[in-house]
Structure 1
Amino acid sequence: MLVPLTVADADEMVGVLAGDLYAFTGGTAPTLDELRTRYARQVTGGPPGQQWHNWIIRVAGEAVGYVQATITHEGRRAEIAWVVGERQQGHGYATEAARALVAWLDEHGVTTVEAHIHPDHAASAAVARRAGLTPTGRFDDGERLWRRGPA
């Protein structure tokens, strides 16, 4: 289900990411050129001190979204995110992918997993909870920090 990101994925993902996915996070759907540029940067693995890991969520070969993790603190902390296209929402894909991502992080020695979620985004909060994260009292740029593991 999780397939490592390639620049070529932009061609399919531009359609998946179209629509009103950015209501809670702000911004607009990326163009194909923007997505190709973003993916070219993301597949580099990240700058010194960070490890970028990005996967496309695929169901029966079709891209339905993505998950990502930025690992810092010498491999002990990860910030994660997930996005599933509007047409593919409501089937549990985000939950399954987020759980798989957290399990992968566990296998690689990450002890703290965090996600920032808009307080009104009930679906993402449910995904975070199902992936083992709990809400904290901390907010960054209007988004609540969810965490699993030590602060």
Structure 2
Amino acid sequence: MTEPLVLAEPLATPRLDLLPLRVEHAEEMAAVLSDPALHAFIGGTPDSLGALRARYERLVAGAPDPGVSWCNWVLRPREDARLVGTVQATVTGRHTAEIAWVVGTPWQGRGFASEAARALVEWLGRVPVRTVVAHVRPDHLASAAVAAAAGLAPTEEEQDGERRWRSLHGG
């Protein structure tokens, strides 16, 4: 088995622990991601516990392409130790990472997504990844604010109705 190019490792911010995803997180995350309103921008519907567990099993097993690393974290605020969301990076080689984030509805508006996305982009810079991108729907102002807080800027590129944001320091 080929070793992934990049492996998620525990990260910490002033308020959050970013823990590498484990299949065991599915039970708690199923509740975090259960609000249908959360899916208005990310699409789909909430996964059942079984479907989320199966997805986490695939994610933890890693990308089938040996040149791609799937790095996924759950977010745990230190104030109450409950999981509140996720961040992820799909790293292609060591050149480009595509990132995404989601925070459960009850915990939105507290800056958790921005804090976690900033930590993720900083970590990717140490890996080192040269370019970080995210795709944000133009009408999703909260995600645009998260992308900006993480040091990304909007480009003129669109894909599937989403604006491509790119790291300011990347190529």
TM-score range for the pair, normalised by the shorter chain length? over 0.9
Structure 1: 5+ residue stretches without partners? none
Structure 1 equivalent of residue 34 of structure 2? 18
Q: d(CA) in 1 for partners of 2:103 and 2:42?
A: 14
Supply the distance in 2 between the matched residues of 1:25 and 1:45 (Cα, whole angstroms): 22
1:21 Cα deviation from its structure 2 partner: 0.9
The total of aligned residue pairs comes to 149
Please give the TM-score of this superposition, normalised by the length of structure 1: 0.96
| Residue matched to 1:67 | 87
- Name 1:97's counterpart in structure 2: 116
Which of these residues, 70, 95, 115, is aligned with residue 52 of structure 1? 70
1:13, CA displacement in angstroms? 0.2
Tell me the secondary structure at the aligned position of residue 38 of structure 2: coil
Within 5 A, what are the aligned runs for 1:31-42?
31-42=48-59
Matching residue within 21, 25, 28 for 1:5 = 21
Gaps of 5+ in 2: 1-16
Alignment correspondent of 1:86: 105
CA–CA distance in structure 1, aligned partners of residues 138 and 83 of structure 2: 27
Q: Give 1:25 shift.
A: 2.4
Coordinate RMSD, CA, aligned: 0.7
Where does structure 1 differ by over 2 angstroms across 4 or more consecutive aligned residues? none
Identity %: 56
Determine helix, strand or coil for the equivalent of 1:56.
Answer: strand
